Structure 1
Amino acid sequence: MNILQCIAVDDEPLALGLVCAFIDKTPFLNLAGRYSSAVEALEAIHQQQVDLIFLDIQMPDLTGIELARIIEKSGNQGPRIIFTTAFNQFALDGFRVDALDYLLKPFNYEEFLKAASKGKAYVELVQRAANVATPPEMKEDYLFLKVEYQLVRIAYDDILYIEGLKDYVKVILKSDVKPVLSLTSLKSLEEKLPSAKFMRVHRSFIVNLDKIGAVTKNTIQIGTVTIPVSDQYKENFSQFLSKWM
């Protein structure tokens, strides 16, 4: 059984004590530290392995959201966060910083265990992906997208095109009439996709080059959908078209 190293962060002693008691009660969690401020927790994260953080949002000096943003900007595979708060208006903020889950106080052990189990499942998924050796002649043909509070595997060949919305991307699939929505940026997704197969053709669109059915000077046709090619990306697209001619 994987044992997750956890820390609990809350400036309210009673709330902190409850979370720590729940962690001690859970066989696959180990309480690696308890902190009354996010600043103390940040120091601990830099000094030891932490897989999961149970993190209050409203705290003095440094809020839970601010700590989550610092961890996110570190660029490394940092610990996952489960927010614990008495205020449900922070749910969207928690989602934007890629929180694993969101516990609204007061919560019971059953709710805590459900959130902790998501943490366990996520860590195991990452470990399996890291441990699978890919033969040299094979290349990954899929990516994982965060959809709500789970990771969804999507095959590259199933993607027709991707549209960037305000806070989300909408992935249009060949196999499903319902698009996949993920809270990420088009730029972030562009960096993950293989450039030989996908191209950004507009500030709001990435297309699967294999799915293009027809083109004009300023548009691309994929199925029945017409996608514009903006001036910013026209040069790269023209280079791609030259291979067709």
Structure 2
Amino acid sequence: MLKVIVVDDEPLARKGMQVRLKEFTELDVIAECSNGEQAIEAISRLQPDLVFLDVEMPGMDGFTVLKQLQQLNSPLPYVVFVTAYDHYAFNAFEVSALDYVLKPVEPERLKQAVEKAIKVARADDSRLHKGQLAEAVARLTGDDADNILQRLDNAEPVVNERYPEAISIKDSGEITRVPVSAIEWVDAAGDYMCIHTRDGQTHILRRTMKELEQELDPRLFVRVHRSAIVNVHTIAKLQMLANGEHQLMLTNGQAVKVSRSYKDRVKQVFSQ
């Protein structure tokens, strides 16, 4: 059975969630919390497998709860966010939560979330998921979780207009935050990304080029090849080679090949 904690500042919401969760024999609700402080204490002490976490709570919201747990190095459970926000706005949270359900909670939607939690738990993927959850929360909220919530309250876009100021890279049990502004260029090496920074370091990140490209501000970074992304501020010149192909020369002396399919994107940089 999965040990479950329900966190919501509304008593009726907590009661309703507990009643519905009793229908699942695979779940055991071991505690309920009415605010963020209680949630942090209960999660740290009881170490549940799954938490149904309300996003908007007075005093300490759901994002802050996760950030505090991360700072305490407390084991992170699977998280299903519970929120009254519209579905389109909640796309911002999908990368950092196992799932989400909207208020008022519909039985079928709750069933889907529970089944997903059970499936992931049975796959014994907790270590990977919890690491992804910690990194995603850091990337999404940055240093100010309230700012994200305010943008959602105002129905402002989150995913397409807000880009992280740093990228979290996990290596040998450590997580390093690399400032995006320090990245000069990125190239693919098999299943890994090599992130080259202006201090001469190379950081290895396990993520696809497409995923990384979506996290970087297109005003600052340009895809020049299926296996390369370049910071526009590091571009010194565009060269045409004897064979008709193009390459970029960066300010650090690095040459980066430009593929034909991305040539027009690169030329746009020089027209700005």
Alignment gaps of 5+ in structure 2: 137-159, 176-187, 199-215, 229-246, 267-272
The residue that corresponds to 2:109 in the other structure is 111
Aligned partner of 1:91: which letter? F
- Going from structure 1 to structure 2, the CA distance change for 1:30 and 1:185 (only over 3 Å counts) comes to farther
How far apart, in 2, do the equivalents of 1:70 and 1:125 lie? Answer: 27
- Going from structure 1 to structure 2, the CA distance change for 1:88 and 1:72 (only over 3 Å counts) comes to farther
Question: Is 1:200 aligned with 2:195?
Answer: yes
- Going from structure 1 to structure 2, the CA distance change for 1:85 and 1:127 (only over 3 Å counts) comes to closer
The residue that corresponds to 1:172 in the other structure is none
Q: Which residues of 2 match residues 1-245 of structure 1 at below 5 A?
A: 3-75=1-73, 77-88=75-86, 91=90, 94-95=93-94, 98-127=96-125, 187-189=167-169, 191=171, 197=189, 198-201=193-196, 217-221=253-257, 223-224=259-260
Aligned partner of 2:13: which letter? A
For 2:123, what is the secondary structure of its paired residue?
Answer: helix
For 1:27, what is the secondary structure of its paired residue?
Answer: coil
Runs of 4+ in 1 over 6 A off after TM superposition: none
Pairwise CA distance, 1:189: 4.4
For 2:30, what is the secondary structure of its paired residue?
Answer: strand
How far apart, in 2, do the equivalents of 1:126 and 1:186 lie? Answer: 30
Pairwise CA distance, 1:166: 6.8
Which stretch shifts more, 118-127 or 19-28? 118-127
CA-to-aligned-CA distance 1:201-242 (integer Å, 9 cap, x gap): 36867x9xxx68x885333227545799xxxxxxxxxxxxxx
For 2:37, what is the secondary structure of its paired residue?
Answer: helix
Indicate conservation of the 8 Å contact 1:8/1:35, yes or no. yes
The TM-score, its normalising length taken from structure 1, stands at 0.56
How far apart, in 1, do the equivalents of 2:33 and 2:82 lie? Answer: 14
Which stretch shifts more, 58-67 or 17-26? 58-67
Indicate conservation of the 8 Å contact 1:82/1:100, yes or no. yes
How far apart, in 2, do the equivalents of 1:145 and 1:115 lie? Answer: 16
Pairwise CA distance, 1:48: 1.4
The TM-score, its normalising length taken from structure 2, stands at 0.51
- Going from structure 1 to structure 2, the CA distance change for 1:190 and 1:167 (only over 3 Å counts) comes to farther
How far apart, in 1, do the equivalents of 2:75 and 2:82 lie? Answer: 22
- Going from structure 1 to structure 2, the CA distance change for 1:55 and 1:190 (only over 3 Å counts) comes to closer
